[in-house]
Amino acid sequence: MKKLLVLIMALALVLGLAACGEKEEVVETFELALITDVGTIDDKSFNQSAWEGLEAYAKDAGLTYKYYQPTEKSDDAYLAAIALAVEGGAKFVVCPGSLFEVSVGQAQTLYPDVKFVMLDVTLAEIQPNLLTVLFADQESGYAAGYAAVKGGYTKLGFMGGMAVPAVMRYGYGFVAGADAAAKELGIDVEMKYHYTGTFSESPEILTLAGAWYADGTEVIFSCGGGIVTSILAAADAAEKDVIGVDTDQSGLSDRVVTSAVKHLSSTVYAAAEAYHKGAWEGGYCKQVTAANGAGTGLPMASTKIEGFTQEMYDALYAELIAGTIAIPVDTDYASAADIPVTNTTLTVVE
């Protein structure tokens, strides 16, 4: 009997130790998420600015967060990345860029308990769990073109990543602003205009930008996330200048003389805060313009365009706020070549 009791106790001890050795699997979840578009999270522009806003709020509020990058440029891949974020615990998802139009349109119905913020595009039907945000990129583009010509540049270039609405708004505004300044000054300017077909750096962009600079172009508006790396490399080699986009890119190089900005980070931060504090307002498109104080325009503190003063900028911005300047947008013309100009020779490079 004693041997049997000892055997039972030993068996219990072994089983107990075995149970203690088994670790319970801990599944990590992330409440806040961002899905990148075809660009990367460190593109020094659009994706990165949106991510920094999400990251800043997550850290301030003590929330978990993560970004997901689609496997390819397709609606199915974007939707799959959104599904992965939701499966990972996301209750608030940011989707920056017009390439998400189809996937977010589906996701808002598939995941009614998840809050979505879609930047730079809107939908005909917006569910209560979706907030779309449209920035007046044309205002920032206009200010950049106007400032460049007022500051003495007469041979300009525009390189956009892809012919998507936000990039087109920037570009159309840039053309209009440069032409308006040229008309005021009574001079003629030249501008080359091109979409690179990518939001990433590439040898082809480096070569083309180098050729533009060699042909006399003095400044190129880099409007496409990671393409700025290639354009800056060409600018350094040619000792020419660059205009940045989306966020103040002056920290990238002394060659950046100004940037056409929009407050992506603060917009994402505010939306995340509203979600977390139970003050979510979805089901509509939020317009971000100079008139509503949301901060399109130029970062004058870091702008290095000689001849363009703070007083000039203040006068221009007052007109943007008042809405007295007619600036073309992406839906006005099929091509930049169709924009009416008086003092600009515009060459669209296919």
Token pair 């860029």 is found at 97
Half-sphere exposure of 326 (CA within 13 A, CB side): 4
Question: What is the spatial distance between Cα 238 and Cα 231, in angstroms, rounded to a whole number?
Answer: 11
User: H or E stretch including 148?
Assistant: helix 137-150
Residue 171 lies in a domain: yes
**Quick one: pLDDT band at residue 27, thresholds 50, 70, 90?**
low
7 by DSSP, 3-state: which? Answer: helix
Radius of gyration of the chain (CA): 25
Residue 13 lies in a domain: no
Q: What are the tens digits of pLDDT across the range 142-175?
A: 999 999 999 999 999 999 999 999 999 999 999 9
**pLDDT (0 to 100) of residue 8:** 37
Give helix 101-110 / helix 75-87 axis angle, nearest 10°.
Answer: 40
- Residues 281 and 198 both lie in one domain: no
Structure tokens at 103: 């996937």
Spell out the residues 6+ positions from residue 169 whose beta carbon is closer than 8 angstroms to its own.
136, 137, 138, 141, 329, 330
Question: What is the spatial distance between Cα 179 and Cα 175, in angstroms, rounded to a whole number?
Answer: 6
Check whether 265 has a pLDDT greater than 60.
yes
Check whether 176 has a pLDDT greater than 70.
yes
- Residues 153 and 302 both lie in one domain: yes
- Residues 211 and 329 both lie in one domain: yes
Question: What is the spatial distance between Cα 158 and Cα 195, in angstroms, rounded to a whole number?
Answer: 8
Residue 2 lies in a domain: no
Tell me which residue of 271, 224, 274 sits closest to 47, measured CA to CA: 224
Residue 14 lies in a domain: no
Q: Give residue 81's identity as a one-letter amino acid code.
A: A
**Quick one: pLDDT band at residue 252, thresholds 50, 70, 90?**
very high
**Quick one: pLDDT band at residue 46, thresholds 50, 70, 90?**
confident
- Residues 193 and 280 both lie in one domain: no
Q: How many domains does the chain have?
A: 2
Check whether 103 has a pLDDT greater than 60.
yes
Q: Give residue 14's identity as a one-letter amino acid code.
A: V
Check whether 1 has a pLDDT greater than 80.
no
Structure tokens at 234: 């060409």
**pLDDT (0 to 100) of residue 44:** 80
Tell me which residue of 286, 288, 264 sits closest to 39, measured CA to CA: 264
**pLDDT (0 to 100) of residue 17:** 38
Q: 247, 260 in Cβ contact below 8 A?
A: no
Check whether 9 has a pLDDT greater than 70.
no
Check whether 243 has a pLDDT greater than 80.
yes
Q: What's the domain range around 316?
A: 137-262+297-348
Q: 286, 123 in Cβ contact below 8 A?
A: no
CATH code of 218's domain: 3.40.50.2300
Question: What is the spatial distance between Cα 243 and Cα 264, in angstroms, rounded to a whole number?
Answer: 18
251 DSSP 8-state letter: G
Residue 302 lies in a domain: yes
Q: What are the tens digits of pLDDT across the range 190-216?
A: 999 999 999 999 999 999 999 999 999
- Residues 41 and 76 both lie in one domain: yes
Residue 6 lies in a domain: no
**pLDDT (0 to 100) of residue 294:** 64
Structure tokens at 37: 């578009």
Tell me which residue of 233, 161, 143 sits closest to 200, measured CA to CA: 161
**Quick one: pLDDT band at residue 25, thresholds 50, 70, 90?**
low
Q: What are the tens digits of pLDDT across the range 306-335?
A: 999 999 999 999 999 999 999 999 999 999
- Residues 177 and 313 both lie in one domain: yes
- Residues 279 and 253 both lie in one domain: no
Residue 9 lies in a domain: no
Spell out the residues 6+ positions from residue 164 whose beta carbon is closer than 8 angstroms to its own.
97, 98, 99, 120
Check whether 180 has a pLDDT greater than 70.
yes
pTM (2 d.p.): 0.86
Q: Which residues of 155-186 are buried (b: 16+ CB within 10 A; e: fewer)?
A: bbbbbbbbebbbbbbbbbbbbbbbbbbbbeee
**Quick one: pLDDT band at residue 26, thresholds 50, 70, 90?**
low
Residue 225 lies in a domain: yes
- Residues 179 and 108 both lie in one domain: no
Check whether 15 has a pLDDT greater than 80.
no
Average pLDDT, whole number, for the chain?
Answer: 91
